[in-house]
Amino acid sequence: MTRSDIQKSGLYLFLVGILCIEYLLNAKRLLGHYDLGWHLAAGDLIRAQGHVPAHDPWSYTAGAQEWFNISWLWDVLASALVQHAGLEGLTLLVVACGGAIAAYLAWMCRRAGASPLAACIAVFAGCLLYPSFATFPDIYLAASPNMFTMLFAVIFAGECLRKSRRMLVLPVIMLLWANLHGGFLIGLGILGFFAGIALLRRDWNALRLYVLTGCLCLAATFVNPLGWRLYAGVAATLGNFVQSHISEWWPYYRDIVLPGSLPNIFYIGLFVILEAALRTPAPLEARLLSWLFLFLGLYQFRYMAFFFLFSAVPMALHVEGVLTSRLREQSARALFLAGIAALLALPLVWLQMKPAIAMPPMLSQRDVRYLETHVPHARLLNHWNYGGLLIFHGRGRIPVFVDGRAATVYPESVLRDYFTVGQRQVNPSAWDALLAKYRIDTVLWLNTHGELRHFLVGQRGWKEIYTGQYASLYVKPADAAGETH
């Protein structure tokens, strides 16, 4: 292998190998998304029926409300993969997606003029930070439709920076994206952003390419089971009041955890300092895109992950400016050898982590079985985080009150009613009103919520008939059965 081959391959071998090891070490968190349960159940349902259901079959509160399943293709893919390869196969898909993102970002940095070492430092930092493992459950590389949004957003940004006719492949990607996750709007936004920059520069050739690609991508979004109603489904999520109760939609400062968020804060500060202090020949579009998502991320935490990804190109060129030529030359072989070692270590890490791969333990199959056995006709009020897992394990045998699908399934009145009680502090009048309005006779809630236990058991005479690892089950006195375990 020539020295040139080592320089070209070492960067990719190292980044893919070492980052995939990092993601495998976090395998438990990759499957920790609370909505994973209903996604898998929806995929099973779609595959069994041969079409995307128009109404929810698992709750008693959705009524005639239309179900906007804007992630139906992800549900089907995940369901089929779990059937044939188990949760292990789904985990490997997530890890592979993370590796693809790292490799593509490295290609973007190299194409922009960064050396392998500079590209490695920038991409490694960005790919280490964007999953946000410290801020569970807001993880952006996990077994959820988000993973494809992260990958496709990077591809869209990279191809727009390249400004070649290869951009015309983006509508094909958009065809998939619009059926996988509502984040496809970010792809349209990226195209609009680059078109705006081209217009300001009066770069008419690039503008025509962006506009043509954008029009084709827009047309591709209508090729889905919902048709134009896809946008109604996205609109049901964006701007809905429920966002104020979900941490990924909070401002960045509200999601800071210490010391876990310190690396993120350090990276953001370093990026700002380097942008202000250095005159680096980074593409203007890459720098502005990074700043745009930095501000969006400060406004809503979920966009910060895109900042860490998009900032890789300008950060790599900033790092390039402070590296010595000797360090650049000596690093190529080191990256190659370290990459080979990381790839050889991957199977060992996989064997070590494989036994820990399982559905989130927040609500176990044993918990659901007890519920179905002892209160089979329950009029249930469940905690938000239990809804998806209850659907997965129960498939509607005990209809749920609410789950993470939020406004894409449930009427706004139901959601507003839920959030009057879905708080840490118990409001007795709100609880009494909701229990009476929906004729609730069973409550499935976090067993750490001592104030709720005191209210239901101590003040309202309910009985706690079951206590699992994370969940407690409360019933009205006349419906109580069994004993606390």
pTM of the model: 0.93
Q: What is the pLDDT of residues 162-206, one digit of tens each?
A: 988 899 999 999 999 999 999 999 999 999 999 999 999 999 999
**What is the distance between the alpha carbons of residues 341 and 331, in angstroms, rounded to a whole number?**
15
Residue 378 Cα distances to 64, 110, 372, 433, angstroms: 21, 59, 8, 18
Q: Give the model's confidence band at 7: pLDDT under 50 very low, under 70 low, under 90 confident, else very high.
A: low
Between 280 and 172, residue with greater pLDDT: 172
Backbone angles phi, psi at 323, to 5 degrees: -85, 145
Q: Which of helix, strand or coil describes residue 473?
A: strand
Q: Give the model's confidence band at 33: pLDDT under 50 very low, under 70 low, under 90 confident, else very high.
A: confident
Q: What residue segments make up the domains of the chain, in order of their start?
A: 3-30+68-354, 365-479
Strands (DSSP E) found in 271-416: 380-382
Rounded (to 5) percent helix, strand, coil in the chain: 65, 5, 30
User: Which residue is associated with the tokens 């993102």?
Assistant: 101
Identify the pLDDT of residue 394. Answer: 94
**What is the distance between the alpha carbons of residues 187 and 192, in angstroms, rounded to a whole number?**
9
**What is the distance between the alpha carbons of residues 97 and 89, in angstroms, rounded to a whole number?**
12
Helix 36-49 with 72-111: angle, nearest 10 deg: 120
**What is the distance between the alpha carbons of residues 304 and 106, in angstroms, rounded to a whole number?**
20
Beta pairing partners, 443: 381, 474
Q: In what order do the strands lie in the sheet with 463-467?
A: 380-382, 442-446, 471-475, 463-467
